[in-house]
Structures are given as structure tokens and as C-alpha cells.
Amino acid sequence: MKTGFLTGICLFMALLQGICQQKIDPDAIRQKMQWFADAKLGIFIHEGIYSVDGIDESWSFHNKKISHADYMKQLKGFTLSKYEPAYWADLIRETGARYAVITTKHHDGVAMYDTEMNELSILKATPARRDMIKPFFEELRKRDIKCGAYFSLIDWTEPDYPGFLKDSAKYKIEDDYDRWNKFRKFFQGQINEISTQFNPDLWWFDGDWEHSAEQWESEKIRQVILAKNPNAIINGRLQGYGDYETPEQNFPVTRPKFNWWELCMTTNDNWGFHHDENWKTPYEVITIFVDVVSNGGNLLLDFGPREDGTIPDEQVTVLKELGRWNKKHGEAIFNTIGGIPQGHFYGPTTLSKDSTNLYLFLHGQVEGTIMVKGLVNKIEEITVLGNGTKLAHKVVGKISWSHVPGLVYIDIPGDVQDKYVTVLKLKLNKPVRLYRGQGGFN
Ligand code: GLC
């Protein structure tokens, strides 16, 4: 009896330890995050009924640009009639991206998959009458691309959500806990469905700002997801229970201090299909991408298909140009680590994982001479990536009695340039070593 009791206690302690370890073991987290850290590029897809009229996804009724009733009329026009998940997956593959994230449900509450939790899905409430997620994940997995599920915690249509249409049916959770619990069962039920039906490699939650971790039950959500798939990665929008940060549209100037981060960005100024012609050019997207990677992050680049599933030409062009550039320069991007600190070279840089190759990115039409400061290493060879040309360099101002390294000057001929960003590979004699002093005798 006593032994049984003790064994019980031991088992309980071991279990507790296991749970705690799962939460804090930095090695396990690093291992889980490795594919994400190596991936550098993900593709975001916002597809929902908002593409019918080409208006702001969910926010249009929240911000009263349109009534909720009129917004919901778009259900009748959502067809996915030309949806070719294999084409989407091919296009994503062509960009070089290693993962994709798609909207399973936006703030408007319309499920893009077969939910049993209510009637508001594209299967039951639109002429599309099909699940958008399952065939897409299948095509991604055939191509070895990781599958991410965007899921909005907020649901501005579900009547038990306290922010329902923002005013009329608004209630305080403290005043009606039963009602809030009803909503919790509902949205957590959907998370369960998505987990069971699709087993995402990555969860991209959104809208956590409307409630606290306790109210959402963030910790429980994390545990439930990890119990089903211990390798699942969770983005940072779960009130403190995610694995990585998600700055949105706003570009860091100094290097973010997070272990893992991902900039999510639109190709024009909208997430979903929109009457918006403010397209970013391939040059802009590529230079932003390079900047993100050199600062140790990933780019999650969005496209928004039309209601029939076709993708605007401008987006296809940007994705293909990015892919063409990646094909030529992938060595300097994928499986690398963030570059050397700013100031050594007036442009972005990355490093191979062993730090013996330093990649320099030259934006635009650079012809003439570039300079690298404070590089202690010897350079064994300089190659123009994707072109093969070897370049010479000159070390200037190295004083024999000083440990301060000289300046490296490299001449860039006009005929080696890439249309967008040229990349130089500097093969170093050893892992990179930098001088960061103030010159003189320091
Ligand atoms: C914001 C918006 C949402 C969009 C998301 C993508 O959180 O609320 O509309 O889907 O960003 O990052």
C-alpha cells in the first residue's frame, strides 16, 4: 500500500518534471525551431469571403466601412471555382519558401475548412462547398513544404464572443462567465478540429490582444497543441505562450534581440485580395527580404487570391522574381545565420553556419569599390554568387605592429551585377573574427 503510494508520488514527480522540462528546456526548443530558423522565407495566404468585394479582411465591418450584414452577403459570391491547390503549392515552391501559412479562420469567423462547431464555413455557407485547407496542405506536404495554420482567436461574428459586432451585444466577461465559457468551448473546439484534421507544423494565432492569457487559456491551448504534435511551432500571438515574435509590416532598424522572429508583410498594402495597386516591386521585396535575413529573421510574404482562387498577376510576378533571385543566391540565404554587426560593411550580410563564409549583399547597380572594416580574418577567395567570377581585394592601412586589421577594398566590375541584389561570398581562413575597437592604440 505504502509502496504503491510512493510509486504514485514518484510517477507524479516525474510527470511534473517532464512537463516543466518541456516548457523550459532550451535545447529542445532550439531543436524544434531549427527548421524555422533555416527556412528564412514563408508564404502567407489570406483567402476569405472578403475577396468577393475586394475589401479589408474582417476589419471593414469592424471599422464600419460596411455593415456586418452587407459584409456577410459576400458568402454568396465565394466560389473557389478555379482553385488549384497544386498550382499554389508549385508557386510557393518556386519562391524557395520552406513553409506556408494559410487562413483557416479570420476575425470574421468564416471557417475555411469543415467545422462542426457552427454553420459558418465555406462548405456550408458558400457556393464553394469545399474545404480549402486539406487539399492545400496535401500539396504542400508532397513538396516538402511545412504547413502553417493561421487562426483568429477573435471571432467578431460568433454571438457568444464579447466583442460581437463591437457594440450592441457587447458584454463583460466578469458579468457573464457562462457565456464566455461557451465561446471558449467553441473556439478551442475549432483548434482541436484543425489539429486533428490537418496536424499543422506551425500555428499562426492572431487577435490575442483583445483578451488576457488567462481568459483565452493560452497555456492550456499550447499544451493541447503540443500534446498532439510536440514539434508544432506556435507564433507569438498567444499572450506570452508562443515560440517566436511576429513584427507586422514595420521593419526593424536595429537588430531585434529575439531568438526567432518573422516579419509578416503584404505585397501591396492589404492582406487579402483588394482594389489596391500599391504593389511592392521585386527589387523592394528582395531588398527587404535580405535585410530581414541579415538581421536573423524570417520573412512571411503574403498574397491574397481572388474569390475564385486565382492569384493577381502582380503577385505572381513578385513571387517568381523572388524565386529566380533565390535560386541564384540561395547559398547566402537558406541555412545561414544573421550577419556581422552593422558598421563593418554598409549593407546587409549573412554568415554560413560555421562562420567561415561571409556574404555581402550589394543593393542595386553597384559598380566601383566597396569596403569592409574590422575583419581580422584573411580572405581566401571572393566569388560573385551565381556568376562564378572571382574578385581581387586589397588590404589598406594594415600596420605591422598593430592588432587593428586594415580595411578591405574590393573592386566590383559592372558586368557581374544581378538585376536586383548582387552577392559576394568571402571565404575566410577561419570562423569570422571582428575588431570592434575605436582605432588608434585600442
Ligand atoms: C493583423 C490583422 C489581420 C491580419 C494579420 C496578419 O493582426 O488583424 O487582419 O490578418 O495582421 O498579420
Q: Which domain does 321 fall in, by range?
A: 5-332
Average of per-residue pLDDT across 52-62: 97
Give the residue whose CA is nearest to atom 8 of ligand 1.
207
User: 56 alpha carbon to ligand 1 midpoint, in Å?
Assistant: 10
Asked if 239 and 17 touch (Cβ cutoff 8 Å), the reply is no
Residue 345's closest CA among 367, 377, 366, 371?
371
Enter the pTM of the model. Answer: 0.93
Q: Output the pLDDT for position 163.
A: 77
Residue 224: predicted pLDDT: 97
Q: How far away, in angstroms, is 206 Cα from ligand 1 center?
A: 7
Question: How do residues 81-122 score in pLDDT, each as one tens digit?
Answer: 999 999 999 999 999 999 999 999 999 999 999 999 999 999
Q: Residue 440 domain-assigned? A: no
The amino acid that residue 79 corresponds to is T
Q: How many CB atoms lie within 10 A of CB 127?
A: 14
Average pLDDT over the chain, rounded to an integer = 93
Q: Is the pLDDT of residue 359 over 90?
A: yes
> In this prediction, what percent of the chain has a pLDDT beyond 90?
88
Please name the residue whose Cα sits nearest to atom 4 of ligand 1. 271
- Domain end, chosen from 297, 332, 367, is at 332
pLDDT for 14 equals: 42
The verdict on 424 and 395 lying in the same domain is yes
Q: Is residue 436 part of a domain?
A: no
What are the pocket residues of ligand 1 if the criterion is a CB atom closer than 6 Å to any ligand atom? Answer: 46, 57-59, 206, 248, 264, 271
Last residue of a domain, one of 304, 332, 360: 332
Q: Which ranges of 250-409 does DSSP label H, i.e. alpha helix?
A: 282-294, 313-329
Structurally, how many domains does the chain consist of? Answer: 2
Residue 15 has pLDDT above 70, yes or no: no
CA–CA separation, 36 and 31 (whole Å): 10
pLDDT at site 164: 66
Residues 326 and 341 placed together within one structural domain of the fold: no
- 108: Cβ contacts below 8 Å, ≥ 6 apart: 48, 49, 50, 57, 58, 61, 71, 156, 157
* pLDDT band with cut points at 50, 70 and 90 for residue 230: very high
Terminal Cα-to-Cα distance of the chain (whole angstroms) = 72
Least confident stretch, 28-42, 121-135, 163-177, 425-439:
163-177
Please name which of 224, 244, 248, 219 lies closest in space to residue 234, comparing C-alpha atoms. Answer: 244
CA of 58 to the centre of ligand 1 (A): 9
**Measured between alpha carbons, how far is residue 368 from residues 176, 365, 395 in Å?**
69, 10, 16
In a domain, 17, yes or no: yes
> Which residue has better confidence, 439 or 168?
439
Give the residue among 78, 81, 82, 127 at the shortest CA–CA distance from 103: 78
Closest C-alpha residue for ligand 1 atom 9: 57
**What gap in Å lies between CA 298 and CA 261, rounded to an integer?**
6
Q: Above 90 in pLDDT, residue 36?
A: yes
| pLDDT score, position 16 | 43
Sheet with 349-352, strands from edge to edge, namely 336-338, 349-352, 357-363, 421-428, 379-384
